[in-house]
């Protein structure tokens, strides 16, 4: 029999000592015939042989034959055998025999990954050891600590525990110690040793004696075992009675290829067809398990869910109902995939394909146990093909398709849709109950299969964030091994988010996982690209998850805290993203979390990278672009930038030339405006300068409107990008302008004089960037004549909104504000090429969200209706992005997002933040500033004169 991969040749492993047996696919009955040995032959004492006999174990199974004698010899054991092959007995019998020879309290610790498995193992110890009076205690999460402390105080012989709760007791239960421990068992050892439990296991290993015996058992082994072997095993013997990843021969395995949206119909059809059987159906998330259970119940099928979001009492209750056959269908997450021994399970259905191939082996191993036969059916949707192929290659079997009549399935569509609808309503109701009920009282979610240990208590959700179809793709799309962004994959991610119920939540969790605390900045950058792409291409359901304060602060801002030492490019990327989202989502009341964070950061003086070259440094194509560029038959790859958009007439070279020259004019005006602001002291500026600036602002605003109007009419990608960049520059300049205005407060505010407005609407202005053939080219920056009027202060909505936002927090320190402003200005100037006196000819990049969304403000927010907040009311009054909050699905999504949000709500400490501000300010200081580059005595007019020599057209306009 093959050696366990990754173990042979290991320094500590004595391969001579490896005992193997041919798996041969025999059942327990055949084992009895094939293996002449009895328990007695293995050296098991009389009293334990009798106990086995009473359990109906006539003879030992193969793994028992291999492992028991070695264990009785006093050796450490690594046991590898198929699911349902009697591994528990293989380690329990030698331990009980050791207890018989030298009775001792707190003699053995058995670690398991799930609570249910812990109870099951305890039952088996109790059953085998009842005649010798063995005492066991189960220590798992979800049950009150006190009763467990009492059980531990009685000093049982054997403690069966999940790692997290055991640590809790080791740290908090007085008098409880494992210093005298003789045996350590890790059941499902590969799971116990994976990253989720790493910290806990390390802690446990530190407080138990090194001089002990260690047994590792599983149906699947990993290299992690080798790791532990180095850390804790002593001269172990491998007892391998199966190949590394095999399923039993009595298991008939099938797959069925179906469209994702008909999964429920196919499931119902199979359950009807195989009625009378007992099913375990595996889903990848708690929510799906819950939903499908409700759906089936609505169709009269006795289904019950079992997942990590349920209280432990309910979990055990569900399991007992299924075990006692009062329910024929158990809907479970991977919390039930390992170890559970429910002999009557006839069929396992993988409703959601397991993301980790090894989980497949454990899931299907819930049937066809101890020599019985069973069936498994795996649903493979259009998104799962690759995962399925991996499973096939892991088990080295090509699975046959499960025969089904598609027409019959389709006849169920209507009934199933109705049941789905009711299930959703019930989910919503449960969600509301869930919201009202205080969380965490009983430690829900702790130590489940999904648990990530003591510190990271899982509040439901679906195990590893990468263990979902979309999570898995995000894991791949953000892998640092990628040469460049995989846009095809990114679009697949968007599809899943848009088309599946769980997609948005799963994606948000996976992206969070990739970014939070990740020191691999390449992965973080790729994750930001995925995030940005999803925000662009996915809808409100995704936006509500990632625009929360929890996500923006706890994931994005946290990622650029100084303690992580993030590179400047990453800081700029994150801040640009926040800025762009804040602009785009301002108008949607349910998405303003990011706006608050953005405004808060600005208030606290953070310098945002306003240069368009830091905004969205990676070109993020929209879905349609990728769709057209990605050949479905070819492997997905980043699409070449398509020079033209479909369906939009091509622009002639003359028009392009004309447009380019107009854009020069536009930039000229912006430059002049920026430069003026840079030179004017807010409190001391001359009235005429302020007026001039205001007029310039009005004109630029009008130009921006034209630019935005023009974008959808263009076909050349290059031009579009250029216009988007200019639009961003406008926004940046206007932000500076509004900051400037804030500092000019105290001056009398007036509506723009009619003349100015008339100027703004002047045909000369309107003709700017007009591509109609009869429009004369505008070759000069357009600025209206200065009217002899009272000074004016713009009352644009941008200003009003930012003022409103500003009012939300206490007055920021002026100097800090000016520093922030100068940083912003400096960057804006830098982008505009002022320092070197030239206009940027680089096409900019588009923002993280459609820039067109950023330019909807055009009137002041007066006549505000009453509402929850002045900002949201004003936004609603403006009719910006209407959001139907009453929508049932949105509500469900909100509920579904609870765990994500909860999970993400770890903000940033003020110390971290202060340090961060300091670094950002330092970075800003190092940027070349306009004032440093020019004589400080220069007046705006003088500056303009300088500018004139470089750009006479612009100056003549002034």
Ligand X SMILES: Nc1ncnc2c1ncn2[C@@H]1O[C@H](COP(=O)(O)OP(=O)(O)OP(=O)(O)O)[C@@H](O)[C@H]1O
DSSP states of 396-408? T-PPPBPP--HHH
Q: Is 161 helix (H, G, I), strand (E, B) or coil?
A: strand
Which window, 81-89, 609-617, 633-641, 924-932, contacts ligand X (CB under 6 A)?
81-89
Shortest Å, Cβ 235 to ligand X: 24
Apex 497 CA angle, 463 and 901, nearest 5 = 55
C-alpha closest to that of 231 among 186, 196, 270, 297:
186
CA distances from 463 to 48, 190, 245, 335, 451 (A): 39, 16, 22, 9, 7
Which window, 58-66, 247-255, 621-629, 793-801, contacts ligand X (CB under 6 A)?
58-66
Smaller CB distance to ligand X: residue 48 or 834? 48
Q: Are 894 and 435 in contact (CB under 8 A)?
A: no
Which window, 363-371, 419-427, 492-500, 937-945, contacts ligand X (CB under 6 A)?
363-371
Q: How far is CA 793 from the centre of its chain?
A: 45
Smaller CB distance to ligand X: residue 369 or 512? 369
Smaller CB distance to ligand X: residue 27 or 600? 27
For residues 827-856, which are near ligand X according to CB under 6 A? Answer: none
Smaller CB distance to ligand X: residue 344 or 434? 344
- The site map against ligand X for 676-705 (x = CB under 6 A) is ------------------------------
> Is residue 245 part of the contact set for ligand X (CB under 6 A)?
no
Which window, 82-90, 190-198, 645-653, 800-808, contacts ligand X (CB under 6 A)?
82-90
Query: Which helix H or strand E contains 690, and what residues bound it?
Result: helix 687-710
Q: Give CA–CA dist 740/746, Å, rounded.
A: 12
Question: What single DSSP character describes residue 547?
Answer: S
> Is residue 954 part of the contact set for ligand X (CB under 6 A)?
no
Shortest Å, Cβ 454 to ligand X: 25
User: Which of residues 138, 239, 370, 699 is near ligand X by CB under 6 A?
Assistant: 370
Shortest Å, Cβ 526 to ligand X: 37
User: In 744-795, which ranges are continuous DSSP H helix?
Assistant: 754-760, 763-766
Q: How far is CA 946 from the centre of its chain?
A: 52
Nearest residue to ligand X on Cβ basis: 86
Smaller CB distance to ligand X: residue 33 or 519? 33
Q: Give the neighbor-by-neighbor strand order of the sheet with 279-282.
A: 251-257, 374-380, 347-350, 279-282, 329-332, 303-306
Which window, 86-94, 263-271, 394-402, 776-784, contacts ligand X (CB under 6 A)?
86-94
Beta strand 77-80 with 213-218: parallel, antiparallel or unpaired? parallel
Question: What single DSSP character describes residue 880?
Answer: -
User: Which of residues 69, 365, 550, 609 is near ligand X by CB under 6 A?
Assistant: 365
At which residue do the structure tokens 């930038």 appear?
Answer: 641
Smaller CB distance to ligand X: residue 191 or 586? 191
Smaller CB distance to ligand X: residue 219 or 630? 219
> Is residue 609 part of the contact set for ligand X (CB under 6 A)?
no
C-alpha closest to that of 673 among 730, 602, 723:
730
Distance in Å from the first CA to the final CA of the chain: 88
> Is residue 64 part of the contact set for ligand X (CB under 6 A)?
yes
- Using only C-alpha atoms, what is the Rg of the chain? 34
Query: How many residues sit close enough to ligand X to count as binding (CB under 6 A)?
Result: 20
Smaller CB distance to ligand X: residue 19 or 260? 19
Smaller CB distance to ligand X: residue 85 or 702? 85
Shortest Å, Cβ 14 to ligand X: 24
> Is residue 60 part of the contact set for ligand X (CB under 6 A)?
yes
Smaller CB distance to ligand X: residue 247 or 284? 247
C-alpha closest to that of 229 among 208, 207, 250, 214:
214
Q: Give CA–CA dist 4/491, Å, rounded.
A: 39
Q: Give CA–CA dist 948/470, Å, rounded.
A: 56
Smaller CB distance to ligand X: residue 343 or 837? 343
Q: Is 798 helix (H, G, I), strand (E, B) or coil?
A: helix
C-alpha closest to that of 583 among 600, 601, 571, 595:
595
> Is residue 341 part of the contact set for ligand X (CB under 6 A)?
yes
Smaller CB distance to ligand X: residue 28 or 615? 28
> Is residue 535 part of the contact set for ligand X (CB under 6 A)?
no
> Is residue 334 part of the contact set for ligand X (CB under 6 A)?
no
- State the number of CA atoms in the 13 A half-sphere of 349 facing the CB: 23
Q: Is 83 helix (H, G, I), strand (E, B) or coil?
A: coil
Q: Are 547 and 594 in contact (CB under 8 A)?
A: yes
User: Which of residues 165, 224, 291, 369 is near ligand X by CB under 6 A?
Assistant: 369
Shortest Å, Cβ 131 to ligand X: 17
Smaller CB distance to ligand X: residue 60 or 469? 60
Shortest Å, Cβ 340 to ligand X: 7
> Is residue 89 part of the contact set for ligand X (CB under 6 A)?
yes
Name, in order, each residue with C-beta under 8 angstroms of 288's C-beta and a sequence gap of 6 or more. 351, 352, 462, 501, 502
For residues 168-227, which are near ligand X according to CB under 6 A? Answer: 219
User: Which of residues 76, 77, 80, 84 is near ligand X by CB under 6 A?
Assistant: 84
Shortest Å, Cβ 85 to ligand X: 4
Shortest Å, Cβ 88 to ligand X: 3
Smaller CB distance to ligand X: residue 84 or 431? 84
Name, in order, each residue with C-beta under 8 angstroms of 436's C-beta and a sequence gap of 6 or more. none
Which window, 56-64, 193-201, 248-256, 610-618, contacts ligand X (CB under 6 A)?
56-64
Smaller CB distance to ligand X: residue 88 or 333? 88
Q: Are 552 and 592 in contact (CB under 8 A)?
A: no
Smaller CB distance to ligand X: residue 28 or 904? 28
Which window, 85-93, 157-165, 664-672, 944-952, contacts ligand X (CB under 6 A)?
85-93
> Is residue 374 part of the contact set for ligand X (CB under 6 A)?
no
Q: Are 4 and 221 in contact (CB under 8 A)?
A: yes
Q: Are 241 and 81 in contact (CB under 8 A)?
A: yes
> Is residue 61 part of the contact set for ligand X (CB under 6 A)?
yes
- The site map against ligand X for 4-43 (x = CB under 6 A) is ------------------------x---------------
User: Which of residues 13, 70, 81, 673 is near ligand X by CB under 6 A?
Assistant: 81
Q: Give CA–CA dist 117/124, Å, rounded.
A: 11
Phi and psi at residue 707, in whole multiples of 5°? Answer: -60, -45
> Is residue 339 part of the contact set for ligand X (CB under 6 A)?
yes
> Is residue 337 part of the contact set for ligand X (CB under 6 A)?
no
Phi and psi at residue 282, in whole multiples of 5°? Answer: -100, 130
Smaller CB distance to ligand X: residue 86 or 462? 86
Query: Between the CA atoms of 94, 96, 102 and 105, what dihedral angle is there, to the nearest 10 degrees?
Result: 130
> Is residue 86 part of the contact set for ligand X (CB under 6 A)?
yes
Q: Are 732 and 610 in contact (CB under 8 A)?
A: yes
Other C-beta atoms closer than 10 Å to the C-beta of 171 total: 11
Shortest Å, Cβ 194 to ligand X: 16
Q: Give CA–CA dist 374/178, Å, rounded.
A: 41
Question: What single DSSP character describes residue 13?
Answer: -
Smaller CB distance to ligand X: residue 80 or 546? 80
> Is residue 83 part of the contact set for ligand X (CB under 6 A)?
yes
Q: Give CA–CA dist 417/428, Å, rounded.
A: 17
CA distances from 679 to 225, 792, 823 (A): 67, 19, 14
List of residues contacting ligand X (CB under 6 A): 28, 57, 60-61, 64, 81, 83-89, 219, 339, 341, 343, 365, 369-370
């Amino acid at each position: 029999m093959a050696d366990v991969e990754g173990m042979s040749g290991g320094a500590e492993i004595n391969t001579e000592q490896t005992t193997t047996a041919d798996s041969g696919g025999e059942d327990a009955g055949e084992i009895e015939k094939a293996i002449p040995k009895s328990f007695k032959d293995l050296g098991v004492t009389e009293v334990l042989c009798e106990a086995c006999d009473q359990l109906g174990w006539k003879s030992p199974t193969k793994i028992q034959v291999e492992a028991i004698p070695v264990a009785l010899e006093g050796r450490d054991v690594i046991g590898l055998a198929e699911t349902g092959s009697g591994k528990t007995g293989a380690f329990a019998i030698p331990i009980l025999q050791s207890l018989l020879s030298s009775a001792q309290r707190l003699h053995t610790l058995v670690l398991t990954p799930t609570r249910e498995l812990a109870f099951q193992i305890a039952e088996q110890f109790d059953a085998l050891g009842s005649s010798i009076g063995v005492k066991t205690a189960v220590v798992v999460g979800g049950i009150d600590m006190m009763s467990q402390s009492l059980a531990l105080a009685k000093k049982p012989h054997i403690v069966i525990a999940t790692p997290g709760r055991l640590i809790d007791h080791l740290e908090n239960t007085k008098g409880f110690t494992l210093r005298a421990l003789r045996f350590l068992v890790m059941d499902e050892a590969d799971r116990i040793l994976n990253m989720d439990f790493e910290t806990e296991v390390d802690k446990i290993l530190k407080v138990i004696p090194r001089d002990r015996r260690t047994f590792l058992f599983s149906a699947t082994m990993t290299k992690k075992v080798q790791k532990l072997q180095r850390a804790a095993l002593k001269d172990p013997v491998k007892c391998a009675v199966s190949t590394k990843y095999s399923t039993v021969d009595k298991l008939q395995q099938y797959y069925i290829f179906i469209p994702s949206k008909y999964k429920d119909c196919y499931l119902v059809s199979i359950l009807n067809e195989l009625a009378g059987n007992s099913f375990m159906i595996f889903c990848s998330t708690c929510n799906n398990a819950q939903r499908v259970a409700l759906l089936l119940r609505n169709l009269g099928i006795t289904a019950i869910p079992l997942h990590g979001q349920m209280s432990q009492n309910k979990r055990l209750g569900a399991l007992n109902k299924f075990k006692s056959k009062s329910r024929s269908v158990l809907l479970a997450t991977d919390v039930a995939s390992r170890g559970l021994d429910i002999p009557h399970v006839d069929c396992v259905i993988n409703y959601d394909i397991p993301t980790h191939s090894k989980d497949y082996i454990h899931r299907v191993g819930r049937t066809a146990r101890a020599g019985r036969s069973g069936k498994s059916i795996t649903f493979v949707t259009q998104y799962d093909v690759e995962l399925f192929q991996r499973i096939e290659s892991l088990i080295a079997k090509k699975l046959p398709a499960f025969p089904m009549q598609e027409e019959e399935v389709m006849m169920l569509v209507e009934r199933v849709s109705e049941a789905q609808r009711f299930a959703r309503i019930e989910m919503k109701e449960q969600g509301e109950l869930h919201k009202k009920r205080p969380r965490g009282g009983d430690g829900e979610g702790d130590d489940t299969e999904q648990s990530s240990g003591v510190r990271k208590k899982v509040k439901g959700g679906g195990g590893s964030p990468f263990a979902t179809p979309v999570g898995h793709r995000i894991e791949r799309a953000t892998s640092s091994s990628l040469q460049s962004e995989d846009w095809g994959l990114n679009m697949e991610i968007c599809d899943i988010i848009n088309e599946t119920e769980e997609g948005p939540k799963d994606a948000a969790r996976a992206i969070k996982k990739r970014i939070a605390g990740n020191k691999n900045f390449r992965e973080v950058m790729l994750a930001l690209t995925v995030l940005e792409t999803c925000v662009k291409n996915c809808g409100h359901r995704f936006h509500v998850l990632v625009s929360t304060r929890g996500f923006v602060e706890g994931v994005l801002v946290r990622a650029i805290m100084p303690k992580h030492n993030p590179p400047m490019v990453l800081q700029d990327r994150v801040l640009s993203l926040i800025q762009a989202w804040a602009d785009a989502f301002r108008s949607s009341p349910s998405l303003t979390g990011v706006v608050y964070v953005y405004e808060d950061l600005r208030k606290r003086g953070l310098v945002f990278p306003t240069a368009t070259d830091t905004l969205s440094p990676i070109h993020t194509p929209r879905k349609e672009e990728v769709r057209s560029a990605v050949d479905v038959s070819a492997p997905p790859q980043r699409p070449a930038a398509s020079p033209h958009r479909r369906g939009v007439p091509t622009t002639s070279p003359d028009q392009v030339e004309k447009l380019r020259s107009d854009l020069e004019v536009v930039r000229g005006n912006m430059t002049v405006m920026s430069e003026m602001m840079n030179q004017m002291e807010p409190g001391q500026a001359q009235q005429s300068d302020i007026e001039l600036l205001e007029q310039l602002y009005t004109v630029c605003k009008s130009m921006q409107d034209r630019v935005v109007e023009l974008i959808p009419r263009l076909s050349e990608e290059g031009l579009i990008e250029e216009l988007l960049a200019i639009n961003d520059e406008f926004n940046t300049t206007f932000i500076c302008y509004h900051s400037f205005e804030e500092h000019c407060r105290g001056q009398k505010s007036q509506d723009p004089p009619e003349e100015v407005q008339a100027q703004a609407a002047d045909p000369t202005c309107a003709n700017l960037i007009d591509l109609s053939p009869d429009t004369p080219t505008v070759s000069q920056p357009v600025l209206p004549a200065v009217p002899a009027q009272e000074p004016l202060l713009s009352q644009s909505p941008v200003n009003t909104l930012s003022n409103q936002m500003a009012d939300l927090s206490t007055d920021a320190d002026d100097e800090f504000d000016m520093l922030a402003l100068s940083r912003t200005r400096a960057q804006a100037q830098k982008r505009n090429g002022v320092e070197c006196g030239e206009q940027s000819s680089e096409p900019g990049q588009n923002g993280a969200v459609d820039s067109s969304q950023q330019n909807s403000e055009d009137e002041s927010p007066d006549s505000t209706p009453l509402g929850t907040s002045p900002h949201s009311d004003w936004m609603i009054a403006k009719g910006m992005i209407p959001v139907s909050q009453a929508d049932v699905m949105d509500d469900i999504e909100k509920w579904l997002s609870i765990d994500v949000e909860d999970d993400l709500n770890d903000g940033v400490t003020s110390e971290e933040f202060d340090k961060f501000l300091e670094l950002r300010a330092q970075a800003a200081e190092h940027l070349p500033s306009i004032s440093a580059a020019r004589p400080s005595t220069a007046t705006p007019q003088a500056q303009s004169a300088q500018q004139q020599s470089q750009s006479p057209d612009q100056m003549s306009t002034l």
